[in-house]
C-alpha cells in the first residue's frame, strides 16, 4: 500500500510537469503494485494507459516492458492465452528495438505461456532460443528462469530425469543471484519430479528445503509446499 501511494505521487508529479515518459513509466510501475495488491482490473487499465503513452512516444522498449509485465500478471491469474498474447507483443517489440536481453526474457515468457497451454513443442523451441540469447547477455537470473521453464516443460512431458537436470541448473543460478523465493519455487517443482521417478526421500528433503525458505520469507506459498509434504507422508 505504501508503494502504491509513492507511485501515485510519482504519476501526479509527472503529470504536473508534462513529463510524458515519466507518466508512462509511473503508470506501468503503479500497475505492477496494483496487481500485487490484487486490484487486477485497475492494474489492467493502468497498464493500458502506459501502453497508450509509450505508443504515442514511439518507445518500443517501453511498450515491450509493459506488455511483458502485463503478461506476467495475466499468467498469475491463470489467463494463459491472454498472457501469451501480451508476451508475443513484447517479443515483437523487443526484436524491432534490437534489445537482446528483452528478447530473451520475452521468449522465455512466450515459451512458459505455451507450456501452460499444453503446447510443448513451441514452448521448448522458445525457451531454448531464450537460453541461447541469455548466454550472450550474462543475465544469470533470466537464465535461471529459463532453466526452470525447461524443467517444467520436461516434467509435463513425463521426462522427469531431464526435468531434474534443468531444475538443478536453475537452482545453482538462483543461489548465485540470491533469489530465495524463486529458489524455493523451483525446489517445489524439483520435489515433484523426484517423487515421479520414485525418489520419495529425495522429494521430501527437497520440499523441506523449499518450505524452510518460504517460512523464513513469510510467504503464503509455504502452505502449498506444506501440503505436498503432508500428502507424501500419508
- Length in residues, the chain: 234
Is 189 part of a structural domain of the chain? yes
Measured from the Cβ of residue 121, the count of other Cβ atoms closer than 10 Å reads 10
Domain-embedded: residue 124: no
The pTM of this model reads 0.92
In a domain, 127, yes or no: no
- Of 22, 107, 10, 28, nearest to 66 by C-alpha is 28
Query: Does 25 map to a domain?
Result: no
Asked, for residue 230, whether it belongs to a domain, the answer is yes
Rounded Cα distance between 19 and 36, Å, is 26
Q: Is the dihedral of CA 81, 84, 86, 92 positive or negative?
A: negative
Return the pLDDT at 17. Answer: 97
Supply the CATH number for residue 210's domain.
1.25.40.10
Q: Which long-range contacts (CB under 8 A, 24 or more apart) does 97-103 make?
A: 97/60, 97/61, 97/64, 99/61, 99/64, 100/133, 100/136, 100/137, 101/133, 101/134, 101/137, 101/139, 101/142, 102/61, 102/64, 102/65, 102/68, 103/133
Quote the percentage of the chain above a pLDDT of 90: 97
First-residue to last-residue Cα distance in the chain:
41
3-class SS at 77? coil
Q: How far is the C-alpha of 51 from the C-alpha of 64, rounded, in Å?
A: 9
Is residue 18 one of the residues assigned to a domain?
no
Domain count, the chain: 1
Interval 122-134: pLDDT, tens: 999 999 999 999 9
In a domain, 161, yes or no: yes
CA–CA separation, 138 and 12 (whole Å): 36
Reported as a pLDDT band with limits 50, 70 and 90, residue 234 is confident
Contacts of 102 (CB under 8 A, 6+ apart): 61, 64, 65, 68, 90, 94
Q: pLDDT tens digits, residue range 29-47?
A: 999 999 999 999 999 999 9
Give domain status of residue 187, yes or no.
Answer: yes
Domain carrying residue 179: 139-234
Q: What is the mean pLDDT of residues 145-163?
A: 98
Amino acid at each position: 500500500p505504501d508503494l502504491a501511494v509513492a507511485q501515485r505521487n510519482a504519476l501526479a508529479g509527472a503529470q504536473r510537469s508534462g513529463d510524458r515518459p515519466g507518466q508512462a513509466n509511473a503508470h506501468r510501475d503503479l500497475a505492477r503494485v496494483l496487481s500485487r495488491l490484487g486490484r487486477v482490473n485497475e492494474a489492467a487499465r493502468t497498464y493500458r494507459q502506459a501502453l497508450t503513452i509509450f505508443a504515442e512516444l514511439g518507445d518500443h522498449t517501453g511498450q515491450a516492458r509493459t506488455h511483458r509485465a502485463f503478461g506476467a500478471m495475466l499468467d498469475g491469474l491463470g489467463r494463459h492465452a491472454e498472457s501469451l498474447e501480451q508476451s508475443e507483443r513484447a517479443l515483437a517489440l523487443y526484436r524491432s528495438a534490437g534489445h537482446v536481453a528483452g528478447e530473451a526474457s520475452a521468449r522465455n515468457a512466450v515459451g512458459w505461456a505455451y507450456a501452460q497451454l499444453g503446447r510443448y513443442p513451441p514452448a521448448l523451441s522458445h525457451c531454448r532460443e531464450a537460453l541461447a540469447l541469455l548466454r550472450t547477455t550474462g543475465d544469470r537470473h533470466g537464465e535461471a528462469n529459463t532453466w526452470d521453464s525447461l524443467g517444467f516443460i520436461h516434467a509435463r512431458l513425463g521426462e522427469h530425469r531431464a526435468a531434474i537436470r534443468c531444475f538443478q541448473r536453475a537452482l545453482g543460478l538462483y543461489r548465485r543471484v540470491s533469489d530465495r523465493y524463486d529458489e524455493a519455487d523451483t525446489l517445489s517443482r524439483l520435489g515433484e519430479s523426484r517423487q515421479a521417478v520414485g525418489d520419495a526421500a529425495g522429494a521430501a528433503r527437497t520440499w523441506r528445503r523449499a518450505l524452510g525458505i518460504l517460512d523464513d520469507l513469510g510467504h503464503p506459498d509455504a502452505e502449498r509446499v506444506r501440503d505436498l509434504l503432508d500428502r507424501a507422508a500419508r
